[in-house]
Amino acid sequence: MSQTQESWPLYEVFVRARRGLNHVHVGSIHAADDEMALRHARDVFTRRNEGVSIWAVRSDLIAASSPGEKDAFFAPSGDKVYRHPTFYQIPDTVPHM
Amino acid sequence: MDDGNAYDGLVEADPDARWAFGTGFHDTLAGVDDALPPSVDRAQLATYCLMLGDDALIMAQRLTQWTTCAPELEEEVALANIALDLLGQAGPLLARAALADPTTVPSLPPGSPVPPQDALAFFRDPRQFRNVRLTEIENGDFAASTVRLLVFSTWRLALLQRLVGSCDAVLSAVAAKAVKEVAYHRDYAARWFVTLAQGTQESRRRMASGLEAVWPYVQELFVAHRVELDLAVAGAGVDPAKLRADFDQVIATVCAAAELHPPPTASAAATPGGRDGVHSAAFAELVTEMQSVARAHPCGRW
């Protein structure tokens, strides 16, 4: 079993609950290929009516920021509250803002 | 939903409708007329519902035995999902049997809260089960289980597709929902069948021997019981003999992709069979295990 676990690559799974929402990362699964990854994702992560769309992507294909670069990447935005769009009126017809 | 407004997806009435917990569940039988069709004999309808319900129930029980034993965690969840789908089909079918003919329901101690469909599942003796024997044979290895699931879901899908046209509104509604489920089960099994047949020498050998082990139980699937024939004539049921062409076509397609050949089918199935309550030696053990907890607590509330 451990041998096959090693030979099946890891996939990250993103599920969209409904049209209009984003795909959200829900977890990861192992699969032999892309087609199997979609099916495993369906079986593991949409059992409770959670989704209408699935993305599965090989984990090793994701470029991720490094924890070592955290300060240089994210600290500079920590004191710039004026970048929030809170200084103008939102039309009544735009919900959930 | 208005397809023209992308915001609509965000403003559904249910504030809990976020991805983490699925919502929007619906009851398949909501609004379905449960009146018994006048053209159908009640006792026969009950027997027919037991046949279809027991097929699903026993297949679910065998699939559940893979839990903690499957080759991969993801496959374990997949098999458990399939089992749960089938259990969900068995419930309303057994309830329908109980409604059509209450005398089929085993009697329980006074005041027992066990609903009739559970009484049928957990308090009947093995001889009273009407499932085809294909569903009850031992799991064998993953290859044999895959072949059995392929055969079962190919046959059941062909049956359900016709049952949607039943004059019994409940049977029709159960079938309409189940068609989508069993289509996925068939796809799951067919993919593994082809993958393993075309995999390593060892996986191909196992798949071929799984085919040998399961095939003797195929012929029984197409032997019509008296009740099935009468229900088919009354417009409520399906004559299983009519499913053979569809079944053969699907199996031939999958086998061609796998480059495996099913063994020749025996000319006649052993009768009487599972539809008459005659089961294999392994069946009593399966039923005993399935029923052990419920029988230990006949007044239990679950």
Cα separations in angstroms, B242 against B159, B162, B208, B264: 9, 10, 27, 19
Q: How far is CA B28 from the centre of its chain?
A: 17
**Range of lowest pLDDT (A87-96, B76-85, B171-180):** A87-96
Best mutation target among A4, A15, A16, A18 (most B Cβ atoms within 10 Å) is: A18
> What is the torsional sign of CA B207, B208, B212, B215?
positive
In a domain, A81, yes or no: no
In a domain, A70, yes or no: no
Enter the tokens of residue B212.
């040998």
Residue A86 has pLDDT above 90, yes or no: no
Judged by a CB distance cut-off of 8 A, whether residue A18 touches chain B is yes
User: Which of B20, B59, B30, B22 is CA-nearest to residue B221?
Assistant: B59
**Range of lowest pLDDT (A27-36, A79-88, B129-138):** A79-88
Enter the tokens of residue B244.
């053979």
Q: Look up the CATH number of the domain holding residue A14.
A: 3.10.20.520
Residue B246 has pLDDT above 50, yes or no: yes
Structural domain count of chain A: 1
In a domain, A50, yes or no: yes
Best mutation target among A28, A43, A94 (most B Cβ atoms within 10 Å) is: A43
Q: Looking at beta carbons, which residues of chain A come within 8 Å of B81?
A: 43, 47
Q: What is the mean pLDDT of residues A10-31?
A: 91
Complex prediction ipTM = 0.79
Q: Do A39 and B188 touch (CB under 8 A)?
A: yes
In a domain, A83, yes or no: no
In a domain, A47, yes or no: yes
| pLDDT per residue as tens digits for the range B196-234 | 999 999 999 999 999 999 999 999 999 999 999 999 999
Judged by a CB distance cut-off of 8 A, whether residue B1 touches chain A is yes
Residue B193 has pLDDT above 60, yes or no: yes
| pLDDT per residue as tens digits for the range B18-28 | 445 566 777 88
Nearest chain B residue to A1 by CA: give it.
Answer: B71
The class of domain B36-262+275-296 in CATH terms is mainly alpha
Please tell me which of the candidates A40, A47, A95 has its beta carbon nearest to residue B7.
A95
Instruction: Give the Cα separation of B247 and B182 in Å (integer).
Output: 14
If contacts are CB pairs under 8 Å, which of residues 27-66 in chain A contact chain B? Answer: 29-32, 35-36, 39-40, 43-44, 46-51
Domain that holds residue A11: 2-61
In a domain, A66, yes or no: no
Q: Looking at beta carbons, which residues of chain B come within 8 Å of A32?
A: 195
Q: Which residue has the tokens 């085809």?
A: B132
